[in-house]
Amino acid sequence: MINNHLLWNLFLAVIPVVLAWTLAWGLTRQGKQRHLPLLVCIPLAVAWLVFLPNTCYLLTQWRHLLFDARWEGLLDAGHADRYAMLSTAKWSLFFLVYSGTGVILFTLAIRPMERWLRSIHHKFYLYAPFFFFLMSFGVYLGLIPRANSWDILTNPLWLWQQSLSALSNPTLMSAIIVFALILWALYEAIDLWIDGVAERLHRWGILRSPARARATA
């Protein structure tokens, strides 16, 4: 029951991770100059922002298991058939891992840019409310009007009209703001978890800390 659509969404979610690490490296200065000129960094930043909602969009894929007609028979049979119950548990685990992968990719696609902001003495939390609102809004555009990341180039007028329609709906905006807060909380939680895992690996000697690596270089 895994289709190409799920794999395609996963591929789209990886793109902003690559863009983020490339952009953070490009914006870092080596001496007085950046690794990449601003004429390259600006389109990279736009592409990163446009593709970033594809990561947290994976959180919405649970709707396929819960509401897609293809799964109704399996879910109904799970109440009495132990094999159907096992299959339901298996697919529930799959969607849990799939959504969790989206959250991890979402975090990995933001971490390098947050650290770059710190390096230039900017505080991420000052940008975070607007930033996570944009991400939540992007998920809405992909989920309801079924917009794609490239519509910003191929169909900008339609995308603008859909955005204005959403912005004028108070109920919808409330839902988008709540989801933005959830995304912010998820990012902070996974960011802490990644730091904790890295610290444990340093303690075990599997990874070297940056300071130790520079000292031995």
Q: Read out DSSP for 91-132?
A: HHHHHHHHHHHHHHHHHHTTHHHHHHHHHTT--HHHHHHHHH
For 37-65, the pLDDT digits (tens) are: 999 999 999 999 999 999 988 888 777 66
Task: Give the residue carrying structure tokens 């905006």.
Answer: 173
Residue 200 has pLDDT above 70, yes or no: yes
Residue 213 has pLDDT above 50, yes or no: no
Task: Give the residue carrying structure tokens 């930033």.
Answer: 131
DSSP class of residue 147 equals -
Categorize the per-residue pLDDT at 80 as very low, low, confident or very high, splitting at 50, 70 and 90: low
Give the integer Cα–Cα distance in Å for 65 and 98: 12
Query: Are 101 and 58 contacting, i.e. CB atoms less than 8 angstroms apart?
Result: yes
Q: Which of 184, 169, 172, 171 is nearest to 133 (CA)?
A: 184
Query: Are 54 and 9 contacting, i.e. CB atoms less than 8 angstroms apart?
Result: yes
In the three-class reduction of DSSP (H, G, I as helix; E, B as strand; rest coil), residue 98 is classed as helix
Segment holding 73, helix H or strand E:
helix 72-77
* Dihedral sign (CA 102, 103, 108, 111): positive
Give the integer Cα–Cα distance in Å for 123 and 118: 6
Task: Give the residue carrying structure tokens 């978890």.
Answer: 193
The structural domains of the chain, with segments of one domain joined by +, span 4-57+102-197
Cα 104 versus chain centre, distance = 7
For 7-33, the pLDDT digits (tens) are: 888 999 999 999 999 999 999 988 778
**Predicted local confidence at residue 214, as pLDDT:** 42
Average pLDDT score, the chain: 86
Instruction: Read off the pTM.
Output: 0.82
